[in-house]
Structure 1
Amino acid sequence: MLFYVAKRLATGAALLLVVVTLIFIAVHLVPGDPARTILTGTGSTPTEEAVAQLRTELGLNLPLGEQYTRYLSDLAHGSLGHSLQDGRPVTAYIGERMPRTIQLIVATTLVSVLAGVTLGALAARRGRFFDRFVLFGSSLGIAIPAYVAAILLIFGVGVQLQWLPSGGYTDISEGFGLYVQGLILPVVALSIGFTAIVSRMTRASVLATARQDWVRTAEAVGLRRRTVFIRHVVRNALTPVLTVTGLQMGALLGGTVIVERVFSWPGLSGLLIDGVTNRDYPLVQGVVIVAAAIFIALNIVVDVSYGLLDPRGRRS
C-alpha cells in the first residue's frame, strides 16, 4: 500500500510540474505589457524610459527561460511571487479569497452527495415511474450550465419572489443566518449538475450490485430486503460514487468562476479575472497553480481511498 501511495504522489508531483510549465508559458503569451498596463493605470501616459525601468525592476526584461527558473526556485521555497500591481504577496491574496471558494465547494459537495445518493438509490429500488422521473431530472440537470441556473435563480428567487439575497457575501461573524441565506442560491446553482451526475452513477451502481449472487443469497437465508438493500447493496455500490465525487469536487474549482462572478461572491474567481485584466502574471499563475494542486490532491485522495476500499484498484 505504501508503494501505491508513493506512486500516486510522484505522479501528482509530475503532473503539477507540467501544469506550472504550461500556465507559465500561456500567461506570457498573452498580448500586452504588464509594465505599461501598471503605469497607464496611474492616469498618465508613460514614457518608454519609465516602462523600461519598471520592466527591469519587475524582472520582465530577463529571458523567458531565466524567468521560468526563478519562478520554479520561488515555488520550491513556498513563494508564489508578488503581485505586479502593488507588490503584495500572491499567497496573501489567495489566503483571503480561498476560504470563501472552499465554503462553496464543501457545501455544494455535501448537498449534492446526500441528494444524489438518495435519489439514485430510490430510483433503483422504487417503481418505474420514479426511476424515469429521476433519469429525466438528472438529464435535465446535466444539460443546464451552472451559470444559466444561477441567472434563473437570481431572477426567480432573488428578484421576483425576494425570498433570498440575489448576490453578495456576508461573513459568518456578522450573523450565521445572513451567511446561510447568501450561501443558498450559489450552492443550489452549483449542485444541480453535481447532483444529477451522482444520482445517475448511484443508480447504475446499485442496479449492478443488486444483481450479484451474494445479494440473492442474503435474501434467501432470511434477511429482510430492506436490510440487505441499505446495509449491503448501497454500501457496496458507493465506491464508484466516491470516484465521481472526487472528480466533481475538482471540477467545481473551475465551475465556480462564473457562478461566483454572477452572485458577486468574493472568491478566487474575482482574483483570477482581475489578474488577467491587469496582466498580473504572478497573480494569475498563483491562482491557477493552487487550483490545480487542489484538484490533483483530491484525485490522489480518491485513488488512495479507492485502493483501500477495493484492493484490485491498487494494480493500476
Structure 2
Amino acid sequence: MVSFLLRRLLAGITLVLLVASATFVMLNFTGADIARNIVGETATPEQAWAKATELGLDEPLALRYIEWLGATLTGDLGKSWFTTVPVGTTLQTALPVTLSIILGALIISALVSVVLGSLAAVRAGWFDKTVQFSAVLADAVPGFLVALALALVIAVNFGWLPATGYVPYQRSVVEWLRSITLPSIALAFGAIAATTLQLRGSMFDVLQRDYVRTLRSRGLTENSIVFKHALRNAAPPALTVLSLQFIGLVGGAVIVEKVFGLRGIGSLATAAAVQGDAPVVLGVVIVMVLLVVAVNLVADLAYGWLNPKVRAE
C-alpha cells in the first residue's frame, strides 16, 4: 500500500508540473499586450515598456520559466499583475467557496445515486424505466438552466434559501449550509444522472451472482442483501464515475458561481484569463490539478477498501 501511494503521489506531482508548465508556455503565446492592458490605453509607450520590464516580460521565455518554477517549488505563486495581491491570498479567499459547493454536490450525488440506482436495479418495471429516462433527461439539461430554475423558484418565489452570496462556515455553519445548498444541488444534477446509471447497471449485475442467491436462501431481507452485501461489490465502478465527475464539477462551478453570485475559483479563473493575469491563472491551474489528483487518490484508496483483490495486488 505504501509503494502504491508513493507511485500515485509521484505521478500526481509529475502531472501538476506538466500541466502548469504547459499553461505557462501557452500564456506567453496569446498575443496580448499585458503591460498595455495594465497601464491603460492612454499610457505612453515608455510607461508600457517600463511596466513590461517591471514584470520581467522583457526577459527570454526560458529564463522566466526557470524563475517561475523555482519560486513555485518554494510555495511562492507570485502576485497578481493587476491588483498586486499575492496569489496565495486570493486563492485562500476563493477556494473555500468552490470547494464547498463541489463537495456538497459530490455528497448529494453519492447519496441520491445510491438510493435511485439500487432501487432501480431491484424494482424492475416502471420504476426502473422512470429512473433511466429521468437520468438521461437530467444529463441533457444544461446546468445553467437548472441553476436559474432553482434560484427563481426556491430562492426568489418561495424565499426558502438565499439566491446569492456565500457565508463562510466560520461565521455560521447554518448560514453556510443555506448559502451552498442551491448551488450544490444545481451542480450535482448532471453528476447524479451519470452515477445513478452506472450504479444501477453494476447493482443489476451483482444481484445475479450466486452468492446473492445463497444469501436469499438463508432468509436475509432484501434490504440487507442490497445495502450490506451487494452495494459493496457494485460501488467501485460507480465510485470511479463519481471521481471523474469531479473534473466536470470544476468546470460546471464556473457557471453556477455566476448564477448565484459566488466569488469562487471559477469566477476568479475566468476574470484572470480575460485580463491575461498569468500568475493568478497559473495559481488556479496548480490548485485545481492538485485537487483532481487528491480526489483520484482518495477514490483509489476507497476502491481498494471496497475490493480486497485490489489491495492484494
Letter in 2 for 1:205: S
Please state if 1:282 is matched with 2:279.
yes
Which residue in the other structure is 1:31 paired with?
31
Query: Aligned equivalents of 1:170 and 1:306: distance in 2?
Result: 34
Residue 101 of structure 1: aligned partner:
98
- 1:243 counterpart residue number: 240
Identity of aligned residues (%): 35
1:115 is displaced (CA, Å) by 0.9
Please state whether the residue corresponding to 1:82 is helix, strand or coil. coil
Aligned mates of 1:102, 1:213 — CA distance in 2: 42
Q: Deviations over 1:134-172 (max 9, x none)?
A: 101111111112122112323333444444333222344
- How many angstroms apart in 1 are the aligned matches of 2:120 and 2:133? 11
Q: Is 2:232–2:306's contact at 8 Å kept on the other side of the alignment?
A: no
Q: Confirm or deny that 1:181 pairs with 2:178.
A: yes
Q: 1:73 aligns with which of 70, 73, 82?
A: 70
Counterpart amino acid of residue 108 in structure 1: A
**Structure 2 counterpart of 1:19:** 19
Q: CA deviation at 1:314?
A: 6.4
Cα offset, 1:26, TM superposition: 2.0
1:118-145 C-alpha deviation (Å, 9 max, x unpaired): 0110111124111011101111111112
1:262-301 matched pairs, under 5 angstroms: 262-301=259-298
Shift of 1:261: 1.2
Q: Can you list the C-alpha shifts for 1:258-290, whole angstroms capped at 9, x where unaligned?
A: 110121111112211221232211011111221
Q: Retained in 2: the 8 A contact 1:242–1:302? A: yes
Work out whether 1:304 is the aligned partner of 2:305. Answer: no
Relative to structure 1, the CA distance from residue 282 to residue 315 in structure 2 (aligned partners, 3 Å threshold; closer, same or farther) is: farther
Shift of 1:310: 2.5
Provide the C-alpha distance between the structure 2 equivalents of 1:147 and 1:134, rounded to a whole number of angstroms: 22
- The residue that corresponds to 2:118 in the other structure is 121
Paired residues in the alignment total 313
The whole-number CA distance in structure 2 between the counterparts of 1:26 and 1:275 is 14
> Pick from 249, 253, 259: which aligns with 2:250?
253
One-letter amino acid matched to 1:47:
T
**Is 2:117 aligned against 1:82?**
no
Counterpart residue type for residue 12 of structure 2: G
1:150-189 maps to which residues of 2 (within 5 A)? Answer: 150-172=147-169, 175-189=172-186
Equivalent in 128, 132, 135 of residue 132 of structure 2:
135
Q: Gaps (5+ residues) in structure 2?
A: none
Gapped regions of structure 1 (runs ≥ 5): none
Which amino acid in the other structure matches residue 293 of structure 2? Answer: I
Aligned twin of 1:212: 209
Give the letter for the 1:131 counterpart.
Answer: D
1:147 aligns with 2:144: yes
Instruction: State the TM-score, normalizing by the size of structure 2.
Output: 0.92
Output the CA distance in 2 between the equivalents of 1:124 and 1:165: 37
Offset from partner CA, 1:84-131 (integer Å, 9 cap, x none)? 113221011001110111111111111111111101101111241110
Alignment of 1:36-75 (within 5 A): 36-40=36-40, 45-75=42-72
> Is 1:232 aligned to 2:242, yes or no?
no
In the alignment, is the contact (CA less than 8 A) between 1:74 and 1:80 conserved in 2? yes
Letter in 2 for 1:9: L
Q: Which range is displaced more, 7-16 or 54-63?
A: 7-16
Separation in structure 1 between the aligned mates of residue 62 and residue 311 of structure 2, nearest angstrom: 39
Distance in 2 of aligned mates of 1:305 and 1:89: 36
Q: Deviations over 1:171-198 (max 9, x none)?
A: 4455555443332221121111111112
- Give the counterpart letter for 1:34 in structure 2: I
| Counterpart Cα distance in 2 of 1:268 and 1:203 | 33
RMSD: 2.1
Separation in 2, partners of 1:30, 1:64: 14
Greater Cα offset, 131-140 or 246-255: 246-255
Matches of 1:150 and 1:194 in 2, distance apart? 14
Q: In the aligned structure 2, how far is the partner of 1:262 from the partner of 1:37?
A: 28
Q: TM-score, normalised by structure 1?
A: 0.92
